[in-house]
Structure 1
Amino acid sequence: MRKDFAVLLLASALSLPVHAELTRADQSIYNAQPNKANTSQNLSKADLAWHATKTFGFDCPEVVKQKPMLGSHHSIITCSTGAQVKVHPLLDRRPVMTLVVSSF
């Protein structure tokens, strides 16, 4: 009986819809409301991809990784194209982004 309940519970959990994180620029709310793109607060990966592409012209259709920088409020995003962008959030303004260029 207990084993049947566990299997039923697992099957029920697997059938629930999974809400994936939005990561592509074309999924950002700013596509429909570009006048709202003036904040650095609570940006999704899709919003960051939108800013990187639309505001700064970087080749970043999707953010696949976001890594906070230790000891800073900045972060580094990695785009699906391999580009890395440093995100500088600003108070009550859109973020400033700079392309990270690695030198060997």
Structure 2
Amino acid sequence: NAPNYFPNSFNGGVECPRSKESKWSVKGDVDRHESINEDNFEQPRLFWEKVLNNEERDRLVENIFSTMKDCKSFIQDRAIQNFGKVHPDFGNKLRKKIDTYNSTR
């Protein structure tokens, strides 16, 4: 039961090299561009720091924890690493909850 999207953590599905995206004219060409160097964490960091209060942060951590607590550990680690890029406290709070949960299983 691997995910039906690519890339994924279970090596399911592969890109078809024959598939090429079409271009069309809209006052110029429309095409894909690589955004690998963009900061994908700036907006969620501002949300964590400037919008949420401590209670809301704790609820967010609890909600995310409840959906990932039974995931495979390598998925948990990857997710916690990403949340830590949003804010170190975010990643640390999740890590603590996951580690506590995993130690009781």
TM-score (norm: length of structure 1): 0.27
Structure with higher helix content: 2
